[in-house]
Amino acid sequence: MTRWGMAIDLDRCTGCEACVVACAAENNIQTVGEEQAREGRAMHWLRIERYYEGEFPDVRTRFMPVLCQQCGAAPCEPVCPVYATYHNPEGLNAMVYGRCIGTRFCANNCPYTVRVFNWFDAEFPAPLDSQLNPDVSVRPGGVMEKCTFCVQRIQAGKDEAAQEDREVADGDVKTACQQSCPTKAIAFGDLDDPDSEVSRWAESPRAFSLLGDLDTRPGVVYLSGTEWREPAE
């Protein structure tokens, strides 16, 4: 069985945010505008967290791309009253937009604060509507959403493999963020396949899980060669 996972090499990340842009374009993410963003309503499924170390002028910035960790024991799932978020057999925390009634309980129970909410109906005024991705639904207002690991690309990869009568090979599916990363800091694939790139990265001595002591068993592994300070400091 496939277990989709991602590995992010923080030592390669330059914080350029190309992944953020690619994610928004791929997944029809609503742009909310300056005013709403200031109120804490920006909708990015993937954000680059910046943490500063040292005193000016000897400041060093560390970048941390944070997206849905696709937890194996996800705190968001049991609290949803309507099964709008559930665990699929391939290890994804799937969202059923049509089922979501907007209690926002899942977002409260996410230790990574990666879930975003459609506070208003999405607007894509012309000509923006002609660049919408036809493989991804546009979510209505009042609905929760988050990173899906580009589930539409996973589906396309599986369809293509099925047509060619073969198994999905490592590298067949590339997420939008992975594809757009200029330093190739992101690996994506099957964590249950020991030979896949993501599995090899996850075996690295530099690998760690974000907030690992919560035991949410994330599907995202981070790699860093240097000690991280406590994130809350």
Q: Which region, judged by CB under 8 A, interacts with another protein, from 20-28, 140-148, 155-163, 171-179?
A: 140-148
First vs last C-alpha separation in the chain: 40
Determine which residue in the list 11, 49, 53, 160 makes contact with another protein, applying CB under 8 A: 49
- Which residue lies nearer to another protein by CB, 83 or 171? 83
Spatial contact of 10 and 61, defined as CB atoms under 8 Å apart: no
Q: Residue 141: what are its φ and ψ, rounded to 5°?
A: -65, 150
Shortest Cβ 227–another protein spacing (Å):
16
Shortest Cβ 166–another protein spacing (Å):
34
- Which residue lies nearer to another protein by CB, 84 or 181? 84
Q: How many residues interact with another protein (rule CB under 8 A)?
A: 49
Shortest Cβ 133–another protein spacing (Å):
23
Range 150-158 contact pairs with CB under 8 angstroms and sequence separation of 24 or more:
150/26, 150/27, 150/175, 150/176, 151/92, 151/94, 153/26, 154/4, 154/90
Shortest Cβ 16–another protein spacing (Å):
17
**One-character DSSP codes across 149-185:** SSHHHHHHHHHHHHHTTSPPPTTS---HHHHH-TT--
| x/- track of binding to another protein for residues 76-105 (CB under 8 A) | --xxxxxx---------------xxxxxxx
Tell whether residue 52 is a contact of another protein (CB under 8 A). no
Spatial contact of 217 and 73, defined as CB atoms under 8 Å apart: yes
Tell whether residue 66 is a contact of another protein (CB under 8 A). yes
Shortest Cβ 136–another protein spacing (Å):
20
Strand partners, 6: 188, 220
Q: How many CA atoms lie within 13 A of 194 on its CB side?
A: 0
Q: Which two tokens stand for residue 206?
A: 């530099």
The count of residues in the chain is 233
Shortest Cβ 33–another protein spacing (Å):
11
Burial environment of residue 229 by CB neighbours within 10 A (0 to 12, 13 to 18, 19 or more): exposed
- Which residue lies nearer to another protein by CB, 30 or 196? 30
- Which residue lies nearer to another protein by CB, 122 or 156? 122
What residue ranges bind another protein (CB under 8 A)?
A: 36, 39-42, 47, 49-51, 64, 66, 75, 78-83, 99-105, 107-109, 111-113, 115-121, 140-144, 211, 214, 230-233
